[in-house]
Amino acid sequence: MAHVTATMAALAAAGETCELYDIHGHYADAGEAAALMSFTLGSDMVLTGHSLGRNKLDHLLKSRTMARREIEAVYAMSRRIEGEERAIDAALMVFTSTHQEVKDQWGLYDGYDPALERILRARPRRGRHFPVMNVIPPGLDFSNLKVACPPDPWEQLAAAQQQQALAASGSFSSLSIAASPRAPRSRRTSMLSAGGSVGALAAVAEGSSSFSAAAGQDEFATTPGESRPKA
């Protein structure tokens, strides 16, 4: 109660209005405190039990290592169970780690009955409810995390090689245009100079130009004074 009173006083002293999404209680003591705060503020409450008193009491009694009176003196088990019952009555949702916890541990409490919960889920009744059991297995989901890692050197090398290949492809594209017989001499020279090494590329351009010129001639072309051979 002292913690609840201090927390409520701190919220009031802030002097700013806000809307509480929910109040999350952990274990029995904070679960009971969250239940009291949710009643006072009119907000929803969720609960994570972690370990439960009724389940622990059941194991201790079956082990026969301690009498019930000793268990109560050491663990104040009845007070713990009272806080857990109050918390589950107020909770809108309970987070658990396994389905076994839902059935075999929370099923020991007066505030939760797995079979009756299924019935009320199918046929709701006003004023009667059980909290929703949300099973979240232990572990972390890293799929949404983005870690700033240093660049991969192999990826950088592959990107550089790709850029070189694209640059070379662009140079030969310019050569094919420059070697066209229809392009003026000055235009061919300027394109070769812009495309890369003039000495190496000029030889390629010359060969391409000769081939293009030869391919463009008609094998039956005649000079003035000659007659076309008959087929």
| Domain containing residue 56: CATH number | 3.40.50.2000
Q: What are phi and psi of 141, to 5 degrees?
A: -105, 110
Judge if 173 and 204 occupy the same domain: yes
Q: How confident is the model at residue 229 (pLDDT cuts 50, 70, 90)?
A: low
Average pLDDT for 133-156? 82
Alpha-carbon distance of 92 to 21, in angstroms, equals 12
Q: How confident is the model at residue 188 (pLDDT cuts 50, 70, 90)?
A: very low
Average pLDDT for 92-108? 94
Judge if 106 and 171 occupy the same domain: no
Alpha-carbon distance of 24 to 49, in angstroms, equals 11
Q: What percent of the chain has pLDDT over 90?
A: 39
Q: Which residues form the domain of 209?
A: 153-215
Q: Are strands 93-96 and 132-135 parallel, antiparallel or unpaired?
A: parallel
Q: Which residue from 22, 221, 30, 56 is spatially nearest to 132, judged by alpha carbons?
A: 22
- Tens-digit pLDDT profile for residues 16-63: 777 778 999 999 999 999 999 899 888 899 999 999 999 999 999 999
Q: What is the pLDDT of residue 83?
A: 95
Domain count, the chain: 2
Q: Is residue 144 part of a domain?
A: no
Judge if 126 and 27 occupy the same domain: yes
Whether 27 and 50 have beta carbons less than 8 Å apart is answered as yes
Q: What is the pLDDT of residue 57?
A: 95
Judge if 127 and 182 occupy the same domain: no
Which two structure tokens, joined as six digits, stand for 130? 């059980």
Q: How confident is the model at residue 93 (pLDDT cuts 50, 70, 90)?
A: very high
Q: Is residue 6 part of a domain?
A: no
Q: Is residue 157 part of a domain?
A: yes
Q: Looking up tokens 């370990």, which residue turns up?
A: 51
Average pLDDT for 129-155? 83
Task: Check the CA dihedral 86-88-93-97 and report its sign.
Answer: positive
Q: What is the pLDDT of residue 202?
A: 52
Task: Check the CA dihedral 177-183-187-192 and report its sign.
Answer: positive
- Tens-digit pLDDT profile for residues 121-139: 777 777 677 899 999 998 8
Alpha-carbon distance of 180 to 15, in angstroms, equals 82
Q: Which residue from 222, 48, 226 is spatially nearest to 138, judged by alpha carbons?
A: 48
Rg from Cα positions in the chain: 42
Q: Minimum mean pLDDT among 91-95, 96-100, 110-114, 161-165: which range? A: 161-165
Q: Minimum mean pLDDT among 24-38, 57-71, 180-194: which range? A: 180-194
Q: How confident is the model at residue 105 (pLDDT cuts 50, 70, 90)?
A: very high
Q: Is residue 61 part of a domain?
A: yes
The secondary structure element, H or E, covering residue 32 is helix 27-41
Q: How confident is the model at residue 104 (pLDDT cuts 50, 70, 90)?
A: very high
Q: Is residue 220 part of a domain?
A: no
Q: Is residue 145 part of a domain?
A: no
Whether 197 and 204 have beta carbons less than 8 Å apart is answered as no
Which two structure tokens, joined as six digits, stand for 5? 């009173």
